[in-house]
Structure 1
């Protein structure tokens, strides 16, 4: 990789304070010069600009880690296939990106920065094109799925089961991006709540986000027989990351979904691990999946399920999932998987580290909702 990392970071420091302006300038230039590309994007561009900037930051911060950066870019490329991105689109994006940075850096921008970014973007484009071409040999850009199950478990949580038109190759713990007919070109990530099945069906736990386009459509405007689009599987919250035979799962709300999939997968292992699952909810009625969890426990003799209720005045004990873990005197000697909202994951991880749990034993998934470089 012939990239001058020092020049890239020096130039990025010039434009980072004006990052929002860079993103707006970039998209304005891209759509003005290449209007046909606009069709690939959703109508509202606010979240798209944020994803672009976070992706650029991710690239700049990981230039020394060629292997990790290549993996990240490869995943972006595989995911971008669902938007119809072709190799000929990359030069247009690179050109407009450099123009936008130069225009917002003021007089401090130097010609060598242009050259450095052209080299860096060529590397990015090469990796992404190659990854997309490899992926196209054995998987489609996206899948069409038929809704075969839809149940409102609470006023805010729906359990939706989808049958893809082709087998969907994923691992337990991963997630998919979904698009509904109500909001074309708008994709949102949802964890798959089951391990791979013979019938290829996928179940998702959808919490309605206030003002959320896709979550509201999935929960309140989607019916059995309707269709959705699925992007390729993503994520690394996998059981293979565990190094011990005792697993502790800490879920917040619908963060339960991928952990439930891991429990299902563990049942197939010859040496079934012992699992302590702590499901944290605000109110007792928010524990939307208790019957299914009890059924899992009846088949998984080394599974314990604990509901932790934090805010319900009707509960005699109000506690977080970590509080429940401590109150049940669970030994912190195993791998701990944490999934929930970003704030929940951050707070929980901090508490576990404070309790002396080694960071290598704490596993989280920060990629749902992660940035895509351009098209999202």
Structure 2
């Protein structure tokens, strides 16, 4: 819009001589606004320091005096509006957790390079930790990094952090870490993030990561010091049966029974791949004799899984880590149950169904077991045998690549599950590959199943 006066005189106002020029309006005077100073900078925390500053730096908050003196738009317009409530100030814990989540999202695409750098820094700071890793350090280092970032991202939710500590400490102890090594772990993690954090990494972000690690590592370090049970148990392979070129069933008898619940998994180390731990889920509910049954599929690029399928033999000695995982039935729920399993993910589902059969009043349960071909459904016969004995259990098989098989449903697991009915009032348990879990969970959420009704154990590689 031009600042020049209107030409042509403008509209005629009644009662005023058109020949007289209109009085000029008084110039509007604006109240001066104080400049907003930049937020104070918290002193830089060196990566070797284990403590975090008491107050986390905040994102460019305006000065309180300037905000009070500046006129609001409603005052300038002459309106009388009720004052807006002051925004809630972010706690230091919430700030740290948020920064960790945001920064991790930026670097996760380069997690392998970050894990290698993390391992190199860790070995230079604590040379004794090199013996805990195999020759190829990328994969175990990646798992260790993620096991540290996960609790750091929840330091603003104490209840969730408390639930994470126990299973993570079990994994760290099984790896061979002790309480005194958490500080070099933190230094190596922050150093690796500093290198790969890119433009998202600055002093404020570094402060947030140091604070989050301090808050997360404290409970884990205390739990390691307080642990009374052995970190690992030895066991002997007493049976190895190869079902196909990429699938095998292995039975292991531990020297001492490993306490676990149906649906949980154990981390194992095998002689063919020393210092390379893998998570395997027992296919049976806990047995009085302690015998463990594992169903193993050789996956592409899987060093341990291929060795287990092709080379595991009777008499091999395994190391078994403590049980972990949250897959299981909510004891406080009375809802019916839906279990969806893909491939060898049927093993923990079978264990859960066997455990339910031992209870006096099991809830109605529907199981969808899926695979590419019928041979992938390793636990189908045992699940159907249970269903014949117990009226509360219904079992449906799904084969994606064999739509003409009369014993199975066609299509993918998510498609078959959605065709099966309305599951919005059920507790849903998912077990299988990360791809299958993501696809099924997304389909169920879109179909109206509440998020807090869906549970699974994500195996992050």
Give the TM interval when normalised to the shorter protein. Answer: 0.7 to 0.9
Q: CA deviation at 1:24?
A: 3.6
Aligned residue number for residue 215 of structure 2? 123
Match for residue 355 of structure 2? 265
Instruction: Check 1:222–1:9 CA distance in 2 against 1; reply closer, same or farther (3 A cut).
Output: same
The answer on whether the counterparts of 1:176 and 1:191 sit within 8 Å (CA) in structure 2 is yes
Q: Distance in 1 between matches of 2:444 and 2:130?
A: 45
TM-score with structure 1 setting the length:
0.86
Q: Report the more deviating stretch, 319-328 or 335-344.
A: 319-328
Cα distance, 1:68 vs structure 2:
1.3
In structure 2, what is the Cα distance between the partners aligned to 1:12 and 1:278?
34
CA RMSD of aligned residues (A): 3.0
In structure 2, the partner of 1:290 is: 380
User: Partners of 2:210 and 2:352 in 1: how far apart?
Assistant: 42
Larger Rg: 2
Secondary structure of the residue that 2:189 maps to in structure 1?
helix
Cα deviations by residue, 1:318-346 (Å, 9 ceiling, x for unpaired): 22334444555576542222211111111
Mapping for residues 98-247 of structure 1, pairs under 5 Å: 98-102=190-194, 117-135=209-227, 137=228, 139-240=229-330, 243-247=333-337
* Cα shift at 1:108: 9.1
Q: Which moved more, 1:148-157 or 1:163-172?
A: 148-157
CA, structure 1 residues 294+57, in 2 after alignment: closer, same or farther (shift >3 Å)?
same
Task: Report the count of equivalent residues.
Answer: 367
| Structure 1 residue 26, shift from structure 2 partner | 3.0
Q: What displacement does 1:50 show? A: 2.9
1:308 to 378, 381, 398: 398
Residue 150 (structure 2) aligns with: 58
Aligned residue in 1 for 2:118: 26
Given the alignment, which residue of 405, 408, 411 partners 1:319? 411
**Worse overlay, 32-41 or 107-116:** 107-116
- Higher RCO (C-alpha under 8 Å, 6+ residues apart): 1
Instruction: Extract unaligned runs of 5+ from structure 2.
Output: 1-51, 57-91
Cα 1:7–1:277 change in 2 (3 A) is: closer
Provide the residue aligned with 1:86 in structure 2: 178
Deviates more, 1:283-292 or 1:345-354: 283-292
SS in 2 for 1:184: strand
Contact 2:414 2:439 in 1 (8 A): no
> Residue 187 of structure 1: CA displacement?
0.6
Deviation at 1:78, TM superposition (A): 2.1
The DSSP-based 3-state class of the residue aligned with 2:439 is helix
- What residue in structure 1 maps to residue 450 of structure 2? 358
Corresponding residue for residue 348 of structure 1: 440
- 1:77 maps to what in 2? 169
Question: Deviations along 1:94-132, whole A, 9 cap, x unmatched?
Answer: 333344444566899776766655444333332112112
Q: Secondary structure at the match of 2:276?
A: coil
Relative distance call for 1:282 and 1:32 in structure 2 (3 A) is: same
Please tell me whether the aligned partners of residues 142 and 229 of structure 1 are also in contact (alpha carbons under 8 angstroms). Answer: yes
Q: Determine the structure 2 residue equivalent to 1:36.
A: 128
Question: What SS does the corresponding residue of 1:233 show, helix, strand or coil?
Answer: strand
Q: Is the 8 A contact 1:322 1:348 kept in 2?
A: yes
Matched, 1:338 2:426: no
Task: Please tell me whether the aligned partners of residues 74 and 132 of structure 1 are also in contact (alpha carbons under 8 angstroms).
Answer: no
Distance 1:299 1:54, change over 3 A: same
Q: Which moved more, 1:165-174 or 1:237-246?
A: 237-246
| 1:31 aligned counterpart, secondary structure | helix
The whole-number CA distance in structure 1 between the counterparts of 2:454 and 2:205 is 39
CA distance in 1, matches of 2:424, 2:199: 55
Alpha-carbon separation, structure 1, partners of 2:425 and 2:182:
48
- How far apart, in 2, do the equivalents of 1:123 and 1:58 lie? 12
Other structure's SS at 1:265 match: helix
Q: Structure 1: give runs of 5+ residues left out of the alignment.
A: 371-376
Does 2:156 align with 1:67?
no
Q: Which has the higher helix share?
A: 1
